[in-house]
DNA sequence: GGTTCTGTACCGGCTGGACGGTATAGCCAA
DNA sequence: TTGGCTATACCGTCCAGCCGGTACAGAACC
């Protein structure tokens, strides 16, 4: 694993364990096992580090979504179903400290949220492309967002069983027997 | 309006307009029209100020929920319907800078999130008390959370018409024609 | 009704420490 | 020996929290 990746990992871990406010270049260096100078060699500034974290997040989301999309059967709501499945992947971004990137960006410099906005725009486009009822798909996906943010903020709701039931219900809402309004 | 409230207002405004990272005691004092000493008279520390902000948030949520609950007709999912309505109140916490309290807390000291956790616990309890299908109610309310957090992070999804349609669909899912599984 | 005491509200300067960023020197593999 | 990478030392700035002080309003006492 490259030093650059190690630094990003360290930053993510700090954010998850101690909060965004505790993320400093010094600490990121210590956790990554190098010195601050080393960090600043790979990232020209703290903003640059956050950018790296955000990119890691968006890359990971893209990757997992593509992978689930390939597995998901064709038909209406294919993208929405993909997003639901991805949200419950135990190894996906939804259960990774990688989400801390979001908090770091919105806290330290809202401009760094730009890639996130772009990602959302892409999702919205994909959802529209194959959802017979975009309101239905939107609600379900917004619920996935809610779940994601709750996890991010340490607001856990129920156990694994609850999560599974939630996923199943979300998929039910997106099943062929619930096509919703025609476009 | 008391000086204390003025300070909290100022802090909220700063968070909304400039981001959590820009919230300092000095700036809060300036915006509130007093000195830093004055701020520290009312709040013993910055953490204490955040606590005040969080309490303002939870109080406001409580108040608006109680008010909508009173207006909401009896029957299954009354609490869930209440939460949906409250989420779309243009004057409610969902559309107020008061939400910045959440970001401030999670950023500066996750321990300060405790009242938020307590609030969620109460909501969950209420939801369970009158939802024939708690999974259904949970999904809808999680979607409301998603909407809230999206707004908080500046990720807007659609216009007012979209919001209205989303609310109507959420209420449809909670209507008597959709009772869901029996308890 | 003047004087002294006490508590509340607020002010503004100060300091010590943390933090982002720079400069520079050292290490090591190709 | 050059270039990629890392360590160390340092600087300037910012900020939380502290503290000595002011203003003022009521109470208490004479």
* CA distances in angstroms from A9 to A3, A86, A111, listed in the order given: 10, 21, 22
Condensed to tens digits (0 to 9), the pLDDT of residues A72-121 reads 999 999 999 999 999 999 888 777 777 888 888 888 888 899 999 999 99
Same domain, B51 and B109: yes
Mean pLDDT of A27-50: 93
Report the C-alpha gap between A34 and A28 in whole angstroms: 9
A3 CB neighbours strand D below 7 A: yes
Same domain, B63 and B136: yes
A21 CB neighbours strand D below 7 A: no
Same domain, B35 and B62: no
**Residue B127 · residue B119 · CB < 8 Å:** no
Is residue B98 over pLDDT 90?
A: no
B165 Cβ partners below 8 Å, 6+ apart?
A: A135
Give chain A positions within 8 Å (CB) of B160: none
* CA distances in angstroms from B5 to A151, B50, B55, B92, B153, listed in the order given: 31, 13, 11, 18, 24
Same domain, B27 and B71: no
B112 CB neighbours strand D below 7 A: no
Residue A24 lies in a domain: no
Residue A85 lies in a domain: yes
Same domain, B90 and B154: yes
- What is the structure's pLDDT at B37? 93
Condensed to tens digits (0 to 9), the pLDDT of residues B39-82 reads 999 999 999 999 999 999 999 999 999 999 999 999 999 999 99
Window from A32-46, A73-87, A145-159, B163-177 with minimum mean pLDDT: A145-159
**Residue B141 · residue B125 · CB < 8 Å:** no
Residue B179 lies in a domain: no
> Is B159 in the A-facing interface, judged by CB distances under 8 Å?
no
Residue B147 lies in a domain: yes
CA distance between the termini of chain A: 47
Same domain, B72 and B28: no
> Is B116 in the A-facing interface, judged by CB distances under 8 Å?
yes
Question: Rounded mean pLDDT of chain B?
Answer: 90
**CATH code at B6?**
1.10.10.60
**Considering chain A, what percentage of its residues have pLDDT values greater than 70?**
96
Minimum distance, in Å, between the CA of residue B149 and any CA atom of chain A? 7
Same domain, B87 and B168: yes
**CATH code at A81?**
1.10.357
Residue A67 lies in a domain: yes
**Residue A112 · residue A172 · CB < 8 Å:** no
Same domain, B77 and B119: yes
> Is A46 in the B-facing interface, judged by CB distances under 8 Å?
no
- What is the structure's pLDDT at A178? 65
A104 CB neighbours strand D below 7 A: no
Same domain, B72 and B116: yes
Q: How many domains does chain B have?
A: 2
- Cβ–Cβ below 8 Å for A113 and B145: no
Is residue A51 over pLDDT 70?
A: yes
Residue A179 lies in a domain: no
**Residue B117 · residue A153 · CB < 8 Å:** no
Residue B4 lies in a domain: yes
- Cβ–Cβ below 8 Å for B19 and A138: no
Q: Structural domain of residue B13, as residue ranges?
A: 1-44
Residue A134 lies in a domain: yes
Minimum distance, in Å, between the CA of residue A5 and any CA atom of chain B? 23
A34 CB neighbours strand D below 7 A: yes
Residues with CB under 7 A from strand C: A 22-27, 36-37, 40, 44-47; B 3, 29, 34-38, 40-42
């Amino acid at each position: 694993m490259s030093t650059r990746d190690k630094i990003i990992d360290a930053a993510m871990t700090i954010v998850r364990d101690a909060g965004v406010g505790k993320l400093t270049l010094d600490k990121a260096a210590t956790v990554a096992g190098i010195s601050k100078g080393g960090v600043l060699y790979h990232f020209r500034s703290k903003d640059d580090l956050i950018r790296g974290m955000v990119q890691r997040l968006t890359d990971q989301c893209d990757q997992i979504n593509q992978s689930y999309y390939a597995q998901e059967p064709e038909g209406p709501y294919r993208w929405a179903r993909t997003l639901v499945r991805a949200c419950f992947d135990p190894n996906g971004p939804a259960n990774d400290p990688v989400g801390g990137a979001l908090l770091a960006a919105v806290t330290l410099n809202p401009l760094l949220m730009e890639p996130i906005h772009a990602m959302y725009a892409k999702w919205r486009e994909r959802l529209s492309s194959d959802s017979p009822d975009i309101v239905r798909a939107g609600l379900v996906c917004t619920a996935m967002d809610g779940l994601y943010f709750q996890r991010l903020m340490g607001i856990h709701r129920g156990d694994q069983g609850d999560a599974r039931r939630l996923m199943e219900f979300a998929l039910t809402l997106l099943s062929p027997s619930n096509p919703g309004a025609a476009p």
